[in-house]
């Protein structure tokens, strides 16, 4: 596993130190022997909330330390419970007369170490209550259910009531009710991997695992991968059947288990809106990373059955930035799109010469599409020919709607077509050129000068100039020739010279070629320049 770390043994220590670049957080001074993150502003007048466990699940647990959530988090090594001493130190550091609630995930190491620390604290005279979270329903009722992302609901709601000054018994009671009304399931495309360790590979490329644990434990079942709508529906149906409250309202947490990309998490959220469970969902938290499993490529869904008391605690203010405010589940509002000008706002008119020139240019672009694509594949993304060919086909289909008798309006109209119908940067640049030329053109300005003025607009917005291996290397010498009164044949010759020169340009700052190694550019002309030159050469031939 390639990782941004110095060494596996120092990961947790250095991660905690990175987290503590925050004036609201502190650590106990036995760090790094024990790794306890505490509120820097805690005055012990209210019930303290302490949670923790193995690291590797960030932002859980230390990311939720702050007003309205946890008072302290005890950080073990990756996937390893913290020691009894560390937990006891945290309790003693933050507990006053109001007492302390320990929030424990249902894993053997956590139950033992947190439980023993609680007993030792009680023996020392501290008032300590515990609540154990067992929200993972994937393995069924016959197996000890694990505590996973639903734990965060308990952090949030118990933290809210502790911040309101409720007693330890009241806070513990609401925490247990939240735990009892929470259920979760995870699903992943891949296993997680320990820092510096060998990655276990259980899944084939066409498989996903349902109900796996947050430490990489095997799941309840392996299934074939299907579209995300079906995967999310499967998870949601299992949660809904487990709860079996047909009229209940829920809060739902969409949790990223590690490396699902943000765009995929939004697709998962959209998929959830199509499920039966979504119809019973009042609040959505996420999609967000709340309890990860190192680099696991998966997600989990946690649901919480709402009561008035739970809803108040869930929606109340909380300081930690890792907590995302619960948002009302609703369909997106639709706002009317401002009406754009008509693609072709001018009255159609005829001009045989203009029609012939435009037709010749369009047919040339279409004819050379594959050749220019192949050239572009060597130095770009392989679509330069397709961009110009697509716009050309649209122009031909609209030819009889163009104001061909008015050059200024024709330039602007074709520029509009490139803007709306052509893809990529080339289409936008051509639109800027043509509309810029239209803005400069009148009967006293030759077409060559107008086109050169439009090209200067393109250069100003695009940033490239002659020598940067773009279509400008062909267009500028050709337009300059026309602006100086030279023939179309001379313009074509100037364009060809500019294009041939791009074969020798190896270092550029603009265009696709700026991302390509110099050795791949040698001897290859720029595809945009080549396309423009072919057009000039086509127009220069006698017809």
- Known catalytic residue: 215? yes
Print burial letters for 111-133: b (CB count within 10 Å at least 16), e (below 16): bebbbebbebbeeeebbbbbbbb
Which residues have C-beta within 8 Å of that of residue 116, sequence separation ≥ 6? 84
Helix (H) or strand (E) holding 293: none
The active-site residue, picked from 215, 270, 363, 504, is: 215
Distance CA 303, CA 453 (A): 62
Q: Kindly report the CA angle at 275 between 257 and 292, in degrees rounded to 5?
A: 5
Which residues have C-beta within 8 Å of that of residue 269, sequence separation ≥ 6? 254, 284, 286, 287
3-state secondary structure of 305: strand
**In sequence order, what DSSP letters do the residues of 483-516 get, joined into one string?**
HTT--HHHHHHHHHHHHHHGGG----SSSGGGGS
In order of 359, 361, 363, the CA distances from 356 in angstroms are 5, 9, 11
How does strand 100-105 pair with strand 182-188? Answer: unpaired
In order of 460, 472, 526, the CA distances from 501 in angstroms are 22, 12, 9
State the catalytic residues.
215
């Amino acid at each position: 596993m390639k990782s941004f770390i110095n060494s596996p043994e120092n990961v947790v220590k250095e991660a905690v130190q990175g987290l503590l670049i925050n004036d609201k957080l502190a650590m106990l001074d036995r760090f790094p022997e024990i790794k306890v993150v505490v509120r820097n502003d805690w005055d012990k007048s209210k019930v303290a909330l302490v949670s923790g466990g193995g690291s590797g699940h960030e932002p859980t647990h230390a990311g939720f330390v702050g007003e309205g959530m946890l008072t302290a988090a005890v950080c073990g090594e990756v996937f390893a419970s913290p020691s009894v001493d560390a937990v006891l130190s945290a309790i003693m550091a933050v507990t006053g007369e109001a007492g302390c609630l320990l929030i424990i995930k249902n894993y053997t190491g956590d139950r033992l170490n947190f439980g023993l620390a609680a007993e030792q604290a009680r023996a020392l005279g501290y008032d300590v209550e515990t609540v154990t979270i067992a929200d993972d329903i994937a393995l069924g009722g016959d197996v000890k259910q694990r505590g996973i992302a639903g734990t965060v609901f308990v952090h949030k709601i118990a933290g809210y009531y502790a911040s309101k000054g409720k007693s330890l018994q009241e806070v513990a009671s609401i925490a247990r009710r939240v735990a009892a009304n929470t259920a979760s399931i995870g699903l992943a495309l891949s296993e997680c991997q320990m820092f510096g360790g060998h990655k276990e590979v259980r899944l084939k490329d066409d498989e996903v695992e349902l109900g796996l644990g947050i430490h990489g434990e095997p799941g309840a079942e392996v299934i074939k991968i299907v579209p995300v709508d079906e995967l999310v529906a499967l998870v949601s149906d299992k949660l809904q059947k487990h709860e079996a409250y047909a009229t209940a309202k829920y809060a739902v947490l969409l949790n990223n288990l590690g490396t699902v990309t943000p765009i995929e998490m939004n697709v998962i959220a959209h998929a959830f809106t199509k499920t039966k469970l979504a119809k019973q969902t009042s609040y959505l938290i996420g999609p967000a990373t709340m309890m990860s499993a190192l680099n696991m490529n998966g997600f989990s869904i946690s649901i919480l059955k709402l009561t008035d008391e739970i809803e108040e605690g869930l929606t109340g203010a909380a300081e930690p930035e890792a907590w995302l405010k619960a948002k009302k589940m609703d369909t997106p509002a639709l706002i009317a799109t401002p009406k754009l000008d008509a693609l072709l706002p001018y009255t159609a008119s005829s001009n045989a010469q203009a029609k012939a020139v435009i037709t010749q240019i369009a047919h040339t672009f279409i004819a050379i599409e594959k050749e220019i694509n192949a050239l572009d594949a060597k130095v770009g993304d392989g679509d330069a020919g397709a961009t110009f060919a697509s716009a050309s086909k649209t122009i031909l289909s609209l030819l009889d709607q163009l104001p061909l008798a008015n050059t200024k309006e024709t330039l602007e109209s074709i520029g509009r077509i490139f803007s709306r119908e052509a893809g990529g940067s080339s289409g936008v640049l051509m639109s800027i050129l043509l509309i810029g030329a239209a803005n400069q053109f009148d009967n006293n300005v030759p077409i060559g000068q107008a086109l050169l003025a439009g090209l200067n607009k393109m250069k100003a917005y695009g940033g490239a100039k002659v020598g940067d291996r773009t279509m400008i290397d062909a267009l500028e010498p050709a337009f300059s020739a026309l602006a100086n009164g030279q023939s179309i044949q001379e313009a074509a010759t100037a364009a060809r010279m500019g294009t041939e020169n791009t074969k020798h340009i190896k270092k550029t700052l603009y265009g696709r070629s700026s991302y390509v190694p110099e050795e791949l550019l040698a001897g290859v002309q720029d595809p945009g320049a080549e396309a423009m030159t072919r057009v000039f050469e086509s127009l220069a031939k006698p017809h």
